[in-house]
Amino acid sequence: MKRGHLRQRGKSWEAKFDIPSSSGKRTTRTVTVKADSRKAAEKELTRLLNLADKGELPDASKADVAAYLTSYLASLHSVGGKTAEV
């Protein structure tokens, strides 16, 4: 079953996807992805869907920059010492 959709918007991509919900209501998230190619945008959409499945996707209305960056750095496989320094 397809859970996401990409649409080119100028030089960026719009990723629209469903988030699993315990209430049974459909929850849709739209994210702008800055990517040079469709393949790169698809890779980012897959990453976002994986975060949503794990329940680690931050709520867009409640996230601040510090919380977003902390969750983003935690999702990376390896980063340099200065990058991970908070």
Which residues fall within 8 angstroms of residue 70, CB to CB, at 6 or more apart?
Answer: 86
Query: What is the value of pTM for the model shown?
Result: 0.63
Any idea where the domains of the chain sit in the sequence? 4-80
pLDDT more than 70, % of the chain: 87
How far, in Å, CA of 74 to CA of 4, rounded?
Answer: 23
pLDDT > 60? residue 1: no
Which residues fall within 8 angstroms of residue 52, CB to CB, at 6 or more apart?
Answer: 17, 19, 20, 29
pLDDT tens sequence across 18-33: 887 777 788 888 999 9
Query: pLDDT tier at 58 (50, 70, 90 boundaries)?
Result: confident
pLDDT > 70? residue 13: yes
